[in-house]
Copies of this chain bind each other. A is one copy, B any other.
């Protein structure tokens, strides 16, 4: 036990001691002041700014709460488990950020409303690249996946002019509140599809009425929601993602009104402008005409999407900074 080459030796990094003296702490506030002074060594001005704010808020949080050593250790262990629960197909830290309202806040700040442009909503973990392309009026759902729903509308620019040939991705749960990717025997993609807007910007497809569902509760995020007395449900919704050359990509979702969890979405995805009403159409003839194979009624969802040009988005983003 005397050969240092046979030891788990950490390596000294390339950084010298700071070119200034830091006072040795005689009180807690000196620790914060020293940390901020050390931040002046940060080469990137943006990173320094972010670190300053991080130190300010984390240290103030500890001070404000008079956090005990036990509470701090509980938090450390909680965050460690959040990292360790994450895998290639599950991101528990995003989920934590979601239920804390942080993801929604970042989304709101980064995608400011531009004029009449349709607002964004969270992407969520269930988007896939392999959805089938469907033609106008065709179905994204196989038969027996839920209550029939007809979705139609137009893709427009902020001046109200049609955007032709926009790519529209849409995905949703079946009547069990499950996405196709959650089935262990998922075969072909289901309850998801990709289509194009027509020359007049119009689009239409058949789908099913989506169903509310819980986010994963078997990890640390599930535990903290229980501790906070909060349910873990998302209200039912239809995901929509629109892309067209020259326009800002629009990731959004539509939330049918009336869902039990509409105003308390566990991940704060709902925005007022994205709530839609479903109209009941009771007509066997209409149902057949729309292409639904059986039944004498369906729900109708009518909704236009207004895309923001890249130029408009840049201007708005500049103004927000």
Residues of A within 8 A of B (CB): 1-4, 6-18, 21-28, 31-32, 34-35, 38-39, 41-44, 47, 49-51, 53-55, 57-69, 71-72, 76, 79-84, 86, 91-94, 97, 100-110, 144-145, 176, 178, 180, 182-187, 190, 213-218, 222, 225-233, 260-264, 268, 270-273, 275, 320-321
Contacts and interface: CB of A to CB of B under 8 A. Distances in A.
Copies of this chain: 2
A112 to B, nearest CB: 9
A54 B63 CA distance: 12
A90 B66 CA distance: 27
A13 B83 contact: no
B229 A41 contact: yes
Contacts of A264: 17-18, 22, 38
A145 B16 CA distance: 27
Nearest to A213: B10
Contacts of A67: 50, 106, 109
A320 B62 CA distance: 14
Nearest to A220: B83
Contacts of A183: 1, 3, 6-8
